[in-house]
Structure 1
Amino acid sequence: MDEFGPLEIRPYPGKGWFPKGKPQRRRADYSRTHGVRHLLAAYDLKGDKLYGHNHLRKTSKEFLAFLKVLRRRFHRSERLYIILDNFSPHKTKLVREWAEQNNVELVFTPTYSSWLNRIECHFAPLRHFVLSGSDYPDHAALADAIQSYLRWRNKNAKSQEILRLQKRVKVA
């Protein structure tokens, strides 16, 4: 499990920005009035599935809500092992108590070793397919695009394009 973001409403450079002829200019992005959002995402190693929720903030409250969603996805008798970085909202007393009561073990990567988390390589394809060359009008459209990508990715996990992008990322 990890956080992806901050996600802003601005034009992201990428493929297709300069078509032949008269290229369409990118809009100015110096006035960002939409704020940012954060994607809380989890990767199921056994099922090879990605799950994610967009949130306004990434505090322990949103983190705990996402953990509860993950807990409902799997049978209560299964022990969940959640691999995390050392971000402070992951270590609050409320989160640790909830994890203990709900058969969830929080496993922290060593400091400066977030690349050991297997979800990291899944953010490169997400960035490529959702953000590259995009200009979403608002956060709702961006969140819809992310959810559409996650559904498509879970059906096409062995896609050559996804595998090629994952190999470019340095992870364990």
Structure 2
Amino acid sequence: MARNNADTFIGFLHALDATVPAGTDIHLVMDNGSSHVAKKTRAWLAARPRFHVHHTPQHASWLNQVELFFSTLTRRLLRRGQFASRDELAERIDDFVLAYDEHDAKPYRWTYDGSPLKTA
């Protein structure tokens, strides 16, 4: 994508809306990025009651951990991978996740206590 702004995000939401069968609720788990909380985005979502927004807490380090995992998956498997079919891709991802859980995954200990952060 050329820009990560409200218009680009709303374009994605339009595509999602067109793809998911009518009558099916759509739950979005999002951080508080500017494109997610822009007035234009909030208005678009408010006009579509099947969209249910769940914002992650500010300073949500767990979301960063998820992003790091997807970065690892991309670097180690997807970027240079060649897959003969969608089924093979899914199988290779499943194998990667199992191996990652077995050898690389480490427990994450939450340390943020919820108190306001100091500003510089």
Q: CA deviation at 1:130?
A: 3.5
1:84-121: CA deviation from partner (whole Å, max 9, x where unpaired): 11111101111112112222122110011152489533
CA distance in 2, matches of 1:123, 1:80: 25
Q: Which amino acid aligns with 2:46?
A: E
Distance 1:75 1:169, change over 3 A: farther
Q: CA deviation at 1:168?
A: 2.9
Aligned to 1:110, the other structure's residue is in SS state: coil
CA distance in 2, matches of 1:93, 1:159: 39
Greater per-residue helix proportion: 2
CA distance in 2, matches of 1:115, 1:153: 29
Tell me the equivalent position of 2:46: 100
Match of 1:161 among 92, 96, 102: 96
How many residue pairs get aligned? The number is 102
1:42-81 equivalent positions in 2, closer than 5 A:
55-81=1-27
Q: CA deviation at 1:162?
A: 3.1
**Percent of matched pairs sharing the same residue:** 22
Report whether the alignment pairs 1:126 with 2:74. Answer: yes
Q: CA deviation at 1:72?
A: 1.8
Tell me the equivalent position of 1:115: 62
Q: Is the 8 A contact 1:115 1:170 kept in 2?
A: no
CA distance in 2, matches of 1:117, 1:107: 16
1:3-25: CA deviation from partner (whole Å, max 9, x where unpaired): xxxxxxxxxxxxxxxxxxxxxxx
Distance 1:122 1:152, change over 3 A: farther
Q: Which amino acid aligns with 1:168?
A: A
Moved more, 90-99 or 151-160: 151-160
CA distance in 2, matches of 1:99, 1:163: 36
TM-score calculated relative to the size of structure 2: 0.63
Distance 1:89 1:65, change over 3 A: same
Unaligned regions of 5+ residues in structure 1, if any? 1-54, 135-144
Q: Is the 8 A contact 1:80 1:104 kept in 2?
A: yes
TM-score calculated relative to the size of structure 1: 0.47
Unaligned regions of 5+ residues in structure 2, if any? 111-120
Please tell me the root mean square deviation across aligned C-alpha atoms, in Å. 3.3
Tell me the equivalent position of 2:115: none
Aligned to 1:156, the other structure's residue is in SS state: helix
Greater per-residue strand proportion: 1
